[in-house]
Chain A
Amino acid sequence: MVKQMRKHETRVITGNACAAYAVRLCRPDVVALYPITPQSEVVEQLTRFKADGLLDAEMIEVEGENSAMNAVTAACVAGGRVFTATASYGLAFMYDAMMQTAGFRAPVVMVNVNREIPGIHAVSAGQQDLISVRDIGWLQIIVEDDQEIIDAIIQAYRLAEDYEIQLPVMINYDGYYLSFSAEAVKIPMIEDVDEYLSILKKQPQRLKLEPGKSMGAGSHGLLQTYTELRYKHMAAMERAKAKFDAIDKEYGDFFGRYYGGQIEEYRTDDAEIILVTSGSATGTAKTVVDAVRENGQKVGLVKIRMYRPFPRERLTKVLQDRKAIGVLDRSVGFGWNCGPMYQEIRALTPEIGKVPLMSFIDGLANMDITIPNIERMIRDIQAAAEGKPYQETTWVSLEE
């Protein structure tokens, strides 16, 4: 692997287009898509690539997302590399099919453009959709900006299809803020992506449906077998953590961009207080962290990049010995009156100690997570660090 920067193509394109460009580079065999706001451009761009002869995949025009997931799972179990994309209502519609995908250990790669879930109608950004499926056995990655969309999708195929993993991967990015946001991005050359992914060909090949062979996928799981298969699934998810760290480093060596693996630790070395974020709000939060640091305040940021499996060990390590920690959620933890990522970080208390831990809920349904909002969060965390009384959960936009 050469250390110099590989050739890239620079384009000013939206996040959705980034996803389509990245998928094209990975040469999927079968793609089944159904449009939904805010993901429709992914469908349009991939279909355009196919029409222009730039994508050599079988495009299955499905009548709904449930069929899309069923179609790609079947193709995947037959040995193909596949792709689909959805959001919100579409994610809900493919719910049973997604569970099947995970249960089959089919390495499907899917983009989920984060949009609020059904219930209160909204065509707006929010992470509730990815939260609503956190317990079905998919790997979930959440990205911060358009460039990371491209890089994470390529890494997703490397991760999903790895012989030691064989799990479906969901790449999440915020609707509107990333899906429709255009930035100048570096798109790798397809030959380089071929080379990067070629390591998968050198691994043992996974089981697949083959005509004439008696192997079948999706058998009944009874009693002890069921439990054993669940155990193996969990074990694979555990392996995915270190694997993802290694894959990200490898990607960085190859393409020149490295994101920290499961989490990114931003100015955390000497930080007294930490704000934990995910998704597009991370970019805004980093600007605030830099500004606050100018005034001498020792604040750091941790970005959760891999949400499933939960980066327990790395978070435990980075959240040690801090004076206060705040967690920003762009979703709610129903039944807990706090954010879901806060909830999971709270479970680390035995290891990180009883430190002031605060949940901030903001950014639901395209409510902007603004710079003043984040400044307020950091002020509140700082106050808690200084021993002042604090409230556990803050619904930021309701308390302005």
Chain B
Amino acid sequence: MRAGISRGENIKMAMKKLTYPYESCWSNADELLLYLETGTWRTSRPKVDKEKCNYCGLCALYCPPQCMIDKGDHFEPNLEFCKGCGICARECPRKAITMVREE
């Protein structure tokens, strides 16, 4: 530590423990969407009946964290993030989604 250093130089001293890659609060959603295993928070999970699903996409539109995965002819929840809120089951017009308790 040096004495009498100018205030501009103080900023350099503090650059030791900077780990965030951006200058301000941006985040690259491909890499870092506040990656938390929010899937561990749920107490029930959505179960999609592929036969009943007509691929309308409403569940994906309504899902708050957008974790419905497009499987080409139906949708499935991303269980890493799905918090089990049940909105998809509620909104599905074909009643193709049921909420099942987690064990």
Contacts and interface: CB of A to CB of B under 8 A. Distances in A.
A271 B77 CA distance: 63
6 contacts: A336-B7, A337-B11, A389-B1, A389-B2, A393-B7, A398-B16
Interface string B1-33: 111110110110110111000001100000000
A122 to B, nearest CB: 10
Interface size class of A (residues with CB under 8 A): 10 to 19
A400 B24 CA distance: 22
Contact of A400 (B5, B7, B13, B17): B17
Contact of B2 (A336, A391, A394, A397): A391
Contact of B16 (A120, A121, A388, A399): A399
A399 B17 contact: yes
Specify the main secondary structure of chain B where it touches its partner: loop
A392 B24 CA distance: 25
Interface of B: 1-5, 7-8, 10-11, 13-14, 16-18, 24-25
Interface of A: 119-121, 336-338, 388-395, 397-400
Contacts, number: 41
B17 to A, nearest CB: 5
A219 B75 CA distance: 64
Nearest to A396: B14
B25 A391 contact: no
Contact of A392 (B7, B16, B17): B7
Given A391-B13, A398-B14, A398-B18, 16 more contacts: A120-B24, A121-B25, A338-B7, A388-B1, A389-B2, A389-B4, A390-B1, A391-B1, A391-B2, A392-B7, A393-B10, A393-B14, A394-B14, A398-B16, A399-B13, A399-B17
Nearest to B16: A399
B13 A337 contact: no
B57 to A, nearest CB: 29
Contacts of B24: 120
A392 B5 contact: yes
A391 B17 contact: no
A391 B16 contact: no
B18 A391 contact: no
B5 A391 contact: yes
A394 B7 CA distance: 11
A338 B8 CA distance: 11
Contacts of B2: 389, 391
Nearest to B4: A389
A400 B14 CA distance: 10
B22 to A, nearest CB: 11
A55 to B, nearest CB: 36
Given A398-B18, A399-B17, A389 B3 contact: yes
Contacts of B14: 393-395, 398-399
A372 B70 CA distance: 50
Contacts of B11: 337
